[in-house]
Every structure is written in structure tokens, then in C-alpha cells.
Amino acid sequence: MKATELRTKTPDELKTELLALKKEAFNLRFQQASGQLENTARVTKVRRDIARIQTVLNEKSASA
């Protein structure tokens, strides 16, 4: 997910997406701990997407 795509969304949409990504990260951590995780790169991608969304949310709140 690109930051330019995120900037076009509303804060409510971003918060919803952030919540979904946090749940996915939680599930990925459990899969990794139990040895069932197949796509290890997904953990990094989810963490970076979470950081991007948080950054855009902070930018929006600072400009408001």
C-alpha cells in the first residue's frame, strides 16, 4: 500500500484499516510462534503498512 493512496482516504477509513492490520499482525505473531507461518515477509509488510497509516493519520491531525 502506498502513502499516496492512504492520503486520499478519510481518517475513519484509515482507522478501520489500521485496526484490521493490527489484528492481522497479531495473528501472524501467533503463527510465527507456533511454527505455522509460511510467508515470513508478510510480517514485515504488515508492520510497515501500520507505520504508514499511523504517519498519515498524524499528518492529517497536525494539519487540522
pLDDT at 1: 81
Cell numbers at 9, concatenated: 482516504
Task: Domain 3-63: give its CATH architecture.
Answer: Orthogonal Bundle (1.10)
pLDDT in tens, 6-58: 999 999 999 999 999 999 999 999 999 999 999 999 999 999 999 999 999 99
Cell numbers at 61, concatenated: 491531525
> Helical H runs in the chain?
3-7, 11-34, 41-63
- Whether residue 64 has pLDDT greater than 90: no
Residue type, 60: K
- Is this prediction's pTM over 0.85? yes
Q: What is the DSSP letter of 1?
A: -
pLDDT at 55: 96
Contact between 53 and 14 (Cβ < 8 Å): yes
